[in-house]
Amino acid sequence: MDAGYTVEQLRAAATDAVRAPSLHNTQPWRFRLRDGGIEILVDPSRRLPATDPSGWGVRVACGAALFNLRLALTVAGTPAAVRLRPYPAEPDVVARLVPDVPRRPTPAEQALYAALARRFSNRAPFWPDPVPADARWRLTEAARAEGCWLELLVGVSAVNAFAEIARGAHRVLERDPAYRAEREEWVRAEPAPDGVPTSAGGPQAEPQDLLPSRGFGGRNRAPGRDFEPEPLVAVLGSTGNTAVDQVVAGQALQRVLLTATDAGLAASLLSQPIEVPTAREQLRLSLGRFGTPQMVLRIGYGQPGWPTPRRPVDEVLDLPVPRA
């Protein structure tokens, strides 16, 4: 295509990209314009060495931001052709987007885009109503459209078996003081542009909870306000587990989350069993699927809530320095 993207297009698309989820809301991304292409990069200063030593979480988050970038550019009529990890010598460059043939967005793309600003992690108990079959189908198709799979755990025994793996992983992580310190560092009791606000952290964990919650210092629970007894648990997986596969998984995650939001559903993420290698392997074996689990989602009908803060977009842009 002709001239490439402009700084204005970069800024507009990055404003949407940063709405993506990230571990502890670290927002580990940067965006730049190079030779007319928009590039998304890992921000190494926002890695979590104790929680995410391999960089898996950073790549999933950047993949989710990349999905938002693609969607925003498409809805603006300037869709992109994407190359993942375009420069072998620069592994922190996650993707490069160059203008593709301009076209009108489809109604489905517009609906997903409309969900982007409304989506948030809802860690509160959901209503007990089951997620209907057509919505389940849309969620699994969303993962498939991005080259991944989404396995919905069916039946109490599958959910209980998963919960045991997840609680075990949670206990392993909680034994590590560096992991706990990192989480405390990103909990925000006062308004802040990053980190997890205590108001979004969900209620304090209680012994009867089936699934482990990360513990972001949420409020105490009113009596009787337990979590839904039969949560819809979904495992998102990719065919392989290279750095590129993890970026692909991030894109699929965001497409699933936006599809859920568009369907009126709430979701929260649960990655302890992904972060502990033995738990991840147990999970993989229990699913009997080819590939690697990359994320676990709890999906259902939630109470209203609010999107969490982000840093101003100009803080994450590397703009060309104007010539004097």
Ligand X SMILES: Cc1cc2nc3c(=O)[nH]c(=O)nc-3n(C[C@H](O)[C@H](O)[C@H](O)COP(=O)(O)O)c2cc1C
The binding site for ligand X (CB under 6 A) comprises 21-25, 57, 60-61, 120-121, 123, 196, 214, 268-272, 308
User: What is the smallest separation between the CB atom of 56 and ligand X, expressed in angstroms?
Assistant: 7
Torsion sign across C-alpha atoms 293, 298, 300, 306: negative
Please identify, using beta-carbon distances, which residue of 9 and 308 lies nearer to ligand X: 308
User: What is the smallest separation between the CB atom of 7 and ligand X, expressed in angstroms?
Assistant: 26
User: What is the smallest separation between the CB atom of 1 and ligand X, expressed in angstroms?
Assistant: 31
Please identify, using beta-carbon distances, which residue of 120 and 126 lies nearer to ligand X: 120
What is 279-292 written as a DSSP string?
HHHHHHHHHT-SSE
For tokens 């007319």, the residue is 36
Provide the 10 A C-beta neighbour count for residue 317.
16
User: What is the smallest separation between the CB atom of 269 and ligand X, expressed in angstroms?
Assistant: 4
- Three-state SS at 31: strand
User: What is the smallest separation between the CB atom of 60 and ligand X, expressed in angstroms?
Assistant: 4
Please identify, using beta-carbon distances, which residue of 70 and 214 lies nearer to ligand X: 214
Question: What percent of the chain is helix, strand and coil (3-state, nearest 5)?
Answer: 40, 15, 45
Provide the 10 A C-beta neighbour count for residue 222.
7
Please identify, using beta-carbon distances, which residue of 10 and 196 lies nearer to ligand X: 196
Please identify, using beta-carbon distances, which residue of 140 and 246 lies nearer to ligand X: 246
**Contact predicate 130/299, CB 8 Å:** no
